[in-house]
Amino acid sequence: MDRKLKLELSDFGCKLGGHTGISELMHDLGEALAISPHLLMMGGGNPGRIPALEAVWRRRMTELLAHGDAFERMLAHYDQPRGSPDFIAALVHCLNHQFGWQLTARNVCVTNGSQNSYFFLFNMLAGRAGGRHRKILLPLAPEYIGYADQGLSSDLFVSCRPLIEELDAHTFKYRIDFDALPLGDDLAAICVSRPTNPTGNVLTDAEMRHLAALAKKRGLFFLVDGAYGAPFPNIIFSEVEPFWDEHIILTLSLSKLGLPGTRNGIIIAREDVIEAVSAINAVVSLANGNLGQALVAPLLQSGELLRLSREVIRPYYEQRARQALGWLHAALGDRVDYRLHAAEGALFLWLWLPGLHGTSQELYRRLKARHLLAVSGHHFFYGLNDPRWSHQHECLRLTYSQSEKIVRAGIEILAAELARG
């Protein structure tokens, strides 16, 4: 008789194959966008649909189809694990031209999305090696939920409470508490997202320079996640200085340009880092999806992508953020004790409800029962080890990038649910 086949998961299977915050979020997002249109999606980080940008992608696709056998070649060939040479050349040209950097093609690796980039980077830099266990410092909690479960070893992240600066009665901003940073000898790298997912915070140039100097002094890599950042898609509502140095690993993504379906991330780093990361990419993925690279390369070469980021993408999101903020303030008014994080970039509003009745996860469930999807803030405070800090259970992340109709209806449901206490 055959033995009953039981699924016994390895440590890897348990860690990544079980329930995680990011799997819950992506499940909700997929359900709302593809299966149950009655759900109001203010959960995941799907970019908005911007008609002027969609027209560019349609034009580029037509050009690809019309240009000899470019389309067939794109489909028929595995790319190099490091990325398509044409795309990399165009990116290097664009960044050197724009910022006066001295990059070469050997400083760039393409991946199947920034999510993959971080899985590779975190685990190749930190974790167990030679009897040591090295960690990634996240200097500003809350930080991107998608990192939280990426460590193959446990406790990969260490973080610390931010300072909370109250800007007005209903607006606040997190600041890095440099005096409290746990700068132990067990670190491999410092990592920030800029703009920060989930809060829409943009670390100031001074904070970035301070972190870069700290990292350099201690022989650490400094990972800067520019998924929403400069120079593209440029969802930053102020002028900031992008910078790169030998110890900085800058990551970019095509997703928030409106191309999340093409799955392409970019890593810019010194040559030995790029060698390692592209070797890992070959093992895990063989090669990258090349559609996004083919669509975008000529726009990098010509400068059109930076113009679109400046003139179309940033104003679109800035206007949508201001509008959603206005609706939220009007809906919550003086009836609810609330604060919103200063909206400085990315696709999110971060709502803090001091003294919230129950936890933010319970609020998430109550809202979902009313067909509104948001994300409970507690998922973003990993690495803190500070169970008594109630703030972690008083926040909610709201995405404002879907249609005005959805955002407006969602805010009404939120206000009605909060009014119930």
Residue ranges binding ligand PLP (CB under 6 A) = 45, 113-115, 144, 146, 193, 197, 225, 227, 253, 255, 260, 265
CB of 45 to ligand PLP, least distance (A): 4
Residue 257 or 332: which CB sits closer to ligand PLP?
257
The strand pairing partners of 168, in sequence order, are: 171
**Closest CA relative to residue 276, chosen from 80, 125, 92:** 125
CB of 204 to ligand PLP, least distance (A): 18
Question: How big is the CA angle at 124 (ends 47 and 182), to the nearest 5 degrees?
Answer: 85
Q: Who contacts 94 (Cβ-Cβ below 8 Å, separation ≥6)?
A: 231, 300, 301, 303, 305, 306
CA distance readout (Å), 37 to 31, 350, 401: 8, 24, 16
Residue 145 or 406: which CB sits closer to ligand PLP?
145
Residue 45 or 127: which CB sits closer to ligand PLP?
45
**Closest CA relative to residue 203, chosen from 183, 177, 181:** 177
CB of 86 to ligand PLP, least distance (A): 20
Q: Which residue is nearest to ligand PLP (CB)?
A: 113
CB of 234 to ligand PLP, least distance (A): 15
CB of 25 to ligand PLP, least distance (A): 9
Residue 21 or 183: which CB sits closer to ligand PLP?
21
- Count of Cβ atoms closer than 10 Å to residue 57 Cβ: 17
Residue 267 or 418: which CB sits closer to ligand PLP?
267
Check the CA dihedral 288-294-227-240 and report its sign: positive
CB of 358 to ligand PLP, least distance (A): 27
Q: Which residues of 331-359 are buried (b: 16+ CB within 10 A; e: fewer)?
A: bbeeebebbbbbbbbbbbbbbbbeebeeb
Residue 223 or 332: which CB sits closer to ligand PLP?
223
